[in-house]
Amino acid sequence: MSKLLSDTEISEQKQQAIDWLVRLRSDDMGDEELCAFADWLAEDHAHSDAFAEAELLFENMSLAAVETSVETSVETCEQAENQLSTQQNKVDKYSRSGGFYQWLIPPLAIAATWLFAVNLFFPQQIGLLDSWGSDYYTQTGELREVELSDGSRVMLNTNSAISVAYNEVNRIVILHHGQARFTVAKDVNRPFVVEADDLSIKALGTVFQVYKNAADEVSITVQEHTVAVNNISADTNDDTVLVQTGQQLNYQLATGLSLAKDVLLGQKTAWQQHRLIINDQPLGDLIAELERYKNGRIFLSDQKLKHLRVTGVFSLNNPDAILSSICKVLDLKQTQLGGWWSILHR
């Protein structure tokens, strides 16, 4: 006679299966535990079914990680190809035979494969090419402040890169990726401009921050005075948008510039004190923000989990501790795979 299981018993079996899978993937499982695992499987046919489901769950997560990274990786490879196109044109110009070009193909293929792997395991490091070609940059989890030649100061958040182009007429800073706070020194003869993608952000005051994320979305938040924002690639000459103290302006390629809106400056600028403030926001938003400050990926076993609400003030000095704290508060469990992926589940 078959045994009917309650929902609670089924849930317990699934959790046991996940726990056993985690132990089997560790490097320190002894013979006694292996025997205990075999006994657990032999106790009930439902145990083996639950274990098979757990394996499928982790496999699907791996496939999902690959699938979600493919599109970005293709774009990344295209960006890398564009960055190398200038050098390739020079090679074509000065090389009198195809031998050198043929020699160049394998390194380019290796670079493309490497970029794909970086995006899969360390997506926040996908801007490494920009970092290497920049004047100042930070690594994952690093916070750095630099002083420019005119006395202006730039604070770089995690995984950020800028280049500086000063001359007798202009002071231009290019934000390649990441987030930076600009404290501008006064110079009436040379305007201070930050360029991020298609945006030109001119300082009319003292302190503001610009964030360009992995999706090439840009946000400008003003902490003191005013900035003037222009979309330099727009088909029409749109009016300059002014962003005042305590306001934020967002830009997306598909939708263009948004209206400037009031924001909570304490929450938006908390990273400058190496803190993360979350106020009744979905867990999915917290995970996306936390991934900026740690290597690897964080996955949720059930998409419903991303809607759980979270509130708190966290220190960014230890992102793993934040993850552990969130799991404790929300009664979630955390599984590590290969040292790169963290999976949160019930």
Q: Domains, the chain, ranges and CATH?
A: 7-57 (no CATH), 71-130 (no CATH), 133-264 (2.60.120.1440), 274-345 (3.55.50.30)
Distance CA 185, CA 149 (A): 10
* pLDDT confidence bin for 126, thresholds 50/70/90: low
Which two tokens mark 328? 């404790």
Measured in whole angstroms, how far is the alpha carbon of residue 18 from the centre of its chain?
27
Residue 256 backbone zone (phi > 0: left; psi -120 to 50: alpha; other: beta): left
Burial 306-322 (b: 16+ CB within 10 A, else e): eebebeeebebeebeeb
What is the percentage of the chain residues whose pLDDT exceeds 90? 41
Higher-confidence residue: 69 or 146? Answer: 146
Give, in order, the Cα–Cα distances in Å from 84 to each of 76, 98, 101: 12, 17, 13
Check whether 83 has a pLDDT greater than 70.
no
Q: What is the pLDDT of residue 59?
A: 55
Q: How many beta carbons lie within 10 A of that of residue 129, not counting itself?
A: 18
pTM over 0.75: no
* 139-153, 215-229, 305-319, range with the lowest pLDDT: 305-319
Could you report the per-residue pLDDT of 17-74, keeping only the tens digit for each? 777 766 665 555 666 777 777 777 777 777 777 777 766 665 554 444 444 444 444 4
Burial 52-91 (b: 16+ CB within 10 A, else e): eebeebbeebeeebeeebeebbeebbeebeeebeeeeeee
